[in-house]
Amino acid sequence: MKTEDVIQFSIRATLGYPTRTLLMILAMSIGVASVILLTALGEGARRYVTREFSSLGTNLLIVLPGRSETTGGHPPLVGGTPRDLTLEDALSLTRSSAIRRVAPITVGSAPVSWKYRDREVTILGSTSELFEIRDLSMAQGRFIPSGDPTRGAAVCVMGYRLKKELFGNQSPLGEWTRIGDRRFRVVGVLAKKGQSLGLDMGDVVVAPVASAQALFNTSTLFRILVQANSRDAIPKAKKAILGIIRERHEGEDDITVVTQDAMLSIFDRIFTALTLSVAGIAGISLAVAGILIMNVMLIAVSQRTTEIGLLKAIGAPGRQILRLFLAESAILSLIGAAFGLILAFFGTWALARAFPSFPITVPVWALGAAVGVSLLTGLVFGVLPARRAAKLDPAQALSRR
Amino acid sequence: MIHLVGIKRVFQVGDEAVHALSNVNMTVDAGEYIAIMGPSGSGKSTLLNIIGLLDRPDKGVYRLEDMDTTDLTDDQQASVRRHKIGFVFQFFHLVPRLTAAENVELPLILAGVEPAERRSRVQAALSALGLSGRAKHRPDQLSGGQRQRVAIARATIMQPRVILADEPTGNLDRTSGKNVVQSLEDLNRKGMTLILVTHDPDLGSRASRKVVMMDGRISEDTGAS
Ligand SMILES: Nc1ncnc2c1ncn2[C@@H]1O[C@H](COP(=O)(O)OP(=O)(O)O)[C@@H](O)[C@H]1O
Ligand SMILES: [Mg+2]
């Protein structure tokens, strides 16, 4: 029997029983679609987090006050704050040859006003080095000037959205705004860059670190961003940071240094595992579809007993009957998988429209795996019914009407 | 052509052994026309199934065209059925979702014949049985007599040596039954061996040889040598 005839015969057989065919195709397509959609969501989450961390800048190390309880590069989840990080701590780090740039960060919240408009805004105190470290860009004007970081000038840079809210279409350059109880002159507006680490750079004001510390009446830092000279210099920079701070903190290791790579690889692992596990959970629906296929094919075999007997009588060996029934479940699985792909396509399209900032993407391996697994499911669960058909006693089958 | 020696077939039904055939001996020459008669349950269908290689005897030797069929594999048996034997059944056994032409085409598909050749052979077979106008009809759109003639076309499309017809008129009225038997007799006149199971004494007397069965044995055989 020719392969094309096997396929054609099986397709005719599936069309002969439209209800059961539709049922099986539906089950299989839901299974395939859910595997693809959930995988796409997991992969989207992984990309989202990776993008967030990458947008922090390159070769980045983050110095946090407080010693991490766990070893390795985790941020401190539990841990005291024995000694604060100071601006002097940050500036002393430039001593190391492995370190290219240092940006101390202090964070607070204060009302920002211009004329009669005002808003509560996150204030980021830092130095001019933040511009390169965070890979920022300007929409208008320039960034806060370099110079002695311990002497804060009364200038500030604002995010593009805040600028729009306070100034509308007017240029804010050179204007004096009030932040808390002080006055700052606007020297620049940040270009649109999106979120990073949950902090929306469109909605912040960046001021010189000393001015921000004075504004919030503090001498401590929230964290220090350090840029190593190169990717290879990151471990050396980390060692240098730990050494310099230990020296300054009287031999105490009371800081945590997190490297961007470490965070990235941790999140990458977490989200890859997450993607695989949701894909596995969705795979259960494929198994359910497989069991359904098996049952429906078993019913088909008993419904078509005389047909099988007849095929044997006109010269089909058991092997051939097995092939015909396996082809039938494979074809049903593949049609189901095709509909599943279409379903998943519309699903991702709808999700992408509903959440435009979420990078939902279907990994190519998930497409292949979903179709492959559905075909495999159809074949594996089709074996039992097909074998039953192949073993049928034709004499007995044909004695019935 | 067909040699049956000491054929025995026992079915186990629960604890009881049903002797469907016990010690059946029969020889059939090529081109014969045989009617097998006998009461229901006497083993006629079982005998036909064994001749058609749909069933195997528990004991005895069956030689078909000088070939011992005892040791044939499933594939070899199927090949013999495909090329040498044509079955016609009481309940027609047409595939309901296929048209008349497609039902007739099935043996050719199983044999791997090219589509172009398939079409012309199916057409010829249908018109030989007066079914040209019914090629595209499905079985439920055909009368009983037409269905049985489609089944005959299917049984003969591979030009088999033997036609085995198990009560082919059992489900038909007299007129269409007669029609069907005439179609079978036409084939016999062209050289095909015809073995026909029937309850109808009139039909039985048309055959050149009559075999009567009783309790799994041949009780009368007008052609036994
Ligand atoms: N598959 C089977 N299982 C059990 N008993 C069977 C089977 N096939 C036939 N028989 C028994 O064998 C005997 C002969 O049956 P069969 O050849 O069909 O008779 P006939 O065709 O002459 O009516 C009957 O008693 C029948 O019940
Ligand atoms: Mg019978």
Kindly write down the DSSP assignment for every residue of A329-344, as one continuous string.
Answer: HHHHHHHHHHHHHHHH
Domain co-membership, A234 together with A294: no
Is the residue at A69 inside a domain? Answer: no
Q: Is the pLDDT of residue A208 over 90?
A: yes
Is the residue at A28 inside a domain? Answer: yes
The two tokens of residue A394 are 């034709």
Orientation of helix A18-54 relative to helix A3-16, angle to 10°: 100
A260: Cα within 13 Å, side-chain hemisphere: 27
Is the residue at A236 inside a domain? Answer: yes
Asked if residues A210 and A150 have their Cβ atoms less than 8 Å apart, the reply is yes
In chain A, the residue whose alpha carbon lies closest to the alpha carbon of B104 is A314
How confident is the model at residue A70, as a pLDDT?
47
Q: Is the pLDDT of residue B224 over 80?
A: no
Q: Tokens 């595209």 — which residue?
A: B136
Domain co-membership, A246 together with A164: yes
pLDDT band for position A79 (50/70/90)?
Answer: very low
Is the residue at A243 inside a domain? Answer: yes
Testing ligand 1's pocket by substitution, the residue of B9, B11, B19 carrying the most ligand atoms inside 8 A of its CB is B11
Name the least confident of A56-70, A273-287, A359-373, B176-190: A56-70
pLDDT band for position B2 (50/70/90)?
Answer: very high
Domain co-membership, A249 together with A115: yes
Q: How far apart are CA B205 and CA B200, in angstroms?
A: 9
Centre of ligand 2 from the C-alpha of residue B36, in Å: 11
Q: How far apart are CA A68 and CA A63, in angstroms?
A: 11
- The DSSP letter of residue B24 is E
Centre of ligand 2 from the C-alpha of residue B45, in Å: 4
pTM tops 0.80, yes or no: no
Domain co-membership, A46 together with A101: no
Domain co-membership, A104 together with A183: yes
CA distance B16 to chain A (A): 18
Testing ligand 1's pocket by substitution, the residue of B46, B49, B166 carrying the most ligand atoms inside 8 A of its CB is B46
Mean pLDDT across the stretch A47-66? 80
Domain co-membership, A114 together with A203: yes
SS3 A68: coil
Domain co-membership, A118 together with A235: yes
Is the residue at A143 inside a domain? Answer: yes
Q: Can you tell me the ipTM of this complex?
A: 0.95
Percent of chain A past pLDDT 70, that is, above it, reads 94
- The DSSP letter of residue A193 is -
Look at residues A231, A253, A275 and tell me which one is the last residue of a structural domain: A253
In DSSP terms, B212 is beta-bridged to: B37, B220
Is the residue at A134 inside a domain? Answer: yes
Higher pLDDT, A386 or A133: A386
Domain co-membership, A153 together with A205: yes
B154 CB near ligand 1 (under 6 Å): no
Higher pLDDT, A72 or B18: B18
Look at residues A183, A218, A253 and tell me which one is the last residue of a structural domain: A253
Q: Tokens 């840029």 — which residue?
A: A227
Is the residue at A310 inside a domain? Answer: yes
B39 CB near ligand 1 (under 6 Å): no
What sign has the CA pseudo-torsion A172, A178, A184, A189? negative
Which residues constitute the domain of residue A343?
A: 3-52+265-398
Domain co-membership, A174 together with A301: no
Of A2, A314, A319, the CB nearest to B112: A2
Domain co-membership, A286 together with A232: no
Give the pairing type, strands A117-126 and A199-200: unpaired
Look at residues A253, A275, A297 and tell me which one is the last residue of a structural domain: A253
How confident is the model at residue B76, as a pLDDT?
94
Domain co-membership, A157 together with A295: no
- The DSSP letter of residue B63 is E
Mean pLDDT of chain A: 87
- Nearest ligand to the C-alpha atom of residue B51: 1
- Nearest ligand to the C-alpha atom of residue B41: 1
Mean pLDDT across the stretch A196-212? 82
Give the pairing type, strands A182-190 and A255-259: unpaired
Structural domains in chain B, sorted by start: 2-222 (3.40.50.300)
Nearest residue (by CA) to ligand 1, atom 20, is B41
Higher pLDDT, B71 or B106: B106
Centre of ligand 1 from the C-alpha of residue B215, in Å: 10
How confident is the model at residue A80, as a pLDDT?
46
Q: Tokens 């020719």 — which residue?
A: A2
Give the pairing type, strands B193-197 and B33-37: parallel
How confident is the model at residue A252, as a pLDDT?
80
Is the residue at A77 inside a domain? Answer: no
Q: Tokens 């993008």 — which residue?
A: A51
Flag whether residue B89 sits within 8 Å of chain A, measured between CB atoms.
yes
Residue A216 identity: F
Residue B155 identity: A
Of A1, A5, A401, the CB nearest to B91: A401
For B72-85, the pLDDT digits (tens) are 999 999 999 999 99
How confident is the model at residue A198, as a pLDDT?
56
Q: How far apart are CA B139 and CA B148, in angstroms?
A: 10
pLDDT band for position A68 (50/70/90)?
Answer: low
Q: Is the pLDDT of residue B49 over 80?
A: yes
Domain co-membership, A343 together with A282: yes
For A271-311, the pLDDT digits (tens) are 888 888 888 888 888 888 888 888 888 888 988 999 999 99
Tally of structural domains, chain A: 2
Percent of chain B past pLDDT 70, that is, above it, reads 99
Closest-CA residue to A60 (of A157, A158, A196): A196
How confident is the model at residue A274, as a pLDDT?
85
Q: Is the pLDDT of residue B185 over 90?
A: yes
- The DSSP letter of residue A86 is B
Q: Tokens 């805040």 — which residue?
A: A162
Q: Which burial class, exposed, middle or buried, applies to B79 when counting CB atoms under 10 A from its CB (0-12, 13-18, 19+)?
A: middle
How confident is the model at residue A215, as a pLDDT?
92
Centre of ligand 1 from the C-alpha of residue A253, in Å: 93
Q: A367 to each of A67, A143, A272, A361, how far by Cα in Å?
A: 44, 46, 16, 11
